[in-house]
Amino acid sequence: MSAVPEAGSVVLAATPIGNVEDASPRLLRLLADADLVAAEDTRRLHALAARAGVAVTGRVVSYHEHNERDRADDLLDVVADGGTVVVVTDAGMPAVSDPGFRLVARAVERGLPVTAAPGPSAVLTALALSGLATDRFTFDGFVPRKAGDRARWLSALTAEPRTMVFFEAPHRIVETLAAMAEAFGPDRPAAVCRELTKVYEEVLRGTVGELADTVADRSATGDALRGEICVVVGGAPAAAAPSVADLVGEVLTRVADGERLKTVVADVATTAGVAKRDLYAAALAARQA
């Protein structure tokens, strides 16, 4: 099967999240051959290229959150003329909590091709190393900075059943973990992953409460977490299904208010997912007791 053509297209290219050896051969070829490289930080791009031993021959422009909307059409004009525009961020996959989304959306509007050179992802790496469920997960980006906004935002996620992945800055991690313990409860399983794929990579696992205490203690003793941090939190546990005995009181209350026993039993049993026959028998026995 032939490769997706790159000439005359936008290519979202993933860059290493720490270890330069994770740079793919395709990324290095794209950096060497692209007509234009749009980089979140041009200095970091050139540093990466130097470490990887590749010469960037095309034009290099900055493309970050403050100019991505205004610069999108300029980049896409290069694509429309048959050129290859490679988009890279400081680390990981463009458009995932990084510039790139608006460019892709505009390319779709203009009917211009977009492809990707996939690679390292802090989100997926943290998820894989967390030890938590990976079959269903959400990425929620950066936690709000202000305490009130953070508390309300986390409160809205308390019933989320999927594993959750967040980004956080080192100077806010103590407050964020404390807020998570308050919102999710101290016993929710979690992991704090920092400096992934780098020399000082570290993954702390435990409950949210334990991690909040550990990170706060380390901060107080001069061993504060540094670097780029991902927090992974287990989803809300499934609520235990009610037993037949738990439902009898509701049935009898509604019957006492004038509803027919069989009608109430059918309604309650269907809603709760229990057998109608068992609930009916239990309700009769309770009435006769």
Q: Give the DSSP per-residue string, the chain.
A: -PPPP-TTSEEEE-B-SS-GGG--HHHHHHHHH-SEEEESSHHHHHHHHHHHT----SEEEE--TTTHHHHHHHHHHHHHTT--EEEE-SSB-TTSSSTTHHHHHHHHHHT--EEEE----HHHHHHHHH-S--SSEEEEEEPPSSHHHHHHHHHTTTT--SEEEEEE-GGGHHHHHHHHHHHH-TTSEEEEEESTTSTT-EEEEEEHHHHHHHHHHHHHTT----S-EEEEEPPPPPPPPPPHHHHHHHHHHHHHTT--HHHHHHHHHHHHT--HHHHHHHHHHHHH-
Is the pLDDT reported for residue 45 higher than 70? Answer: yes
Decide if pLDDT at 2 tops 50: no
Domain-wise residue ranges, the chain: 10-120, 123-233, 244-288
| pLDDT tens track for 245-285 | 889 999 999 989 999 999 999 999 998 888 999 998 999 98
Q: Residue 3 — very low, low, confident or very high, per pLDDT cuts 50/70/90?
A: low
CA gap 167, 122 in Å, rounded: 9
Q: Are 13 and 118 in contact (CB under 8 A)?
A: no
Residue 1 has pLDDT above 70, yes or no: no
| Between residues 172 and 242, the one the model is more confident about | 172
pLDDT in tens, 117-175: 999 999 999 999 999 999 999 999 999 999 999 999 999 999 999 999 999 999 999 99
Amino acid in position 150: R
The CATH code belonging to domain 10-120 is: 3.40.1010.10
Instruction: Give the global pTM.
Output: 0.80
Parallel/antiparallel/unpaired status of strands 229-233 and 189-194: antiparallel
Instruction: Tell me the C-alpha distance between 12 and 118, whole Å.
Output: 8
Mean predicted confidence (pLDDT) in 71-87:
95
Joined tokens for residue 142: 């950066």
Q: What is the CATH number of domain 123-233?
A: 3.30.950.10
Q: Is the torsion defined by CA of 66, 69, 72, 74 positive or negative?
A: negative
Q: For position 4, what pLDDT does the model report?
A: 65
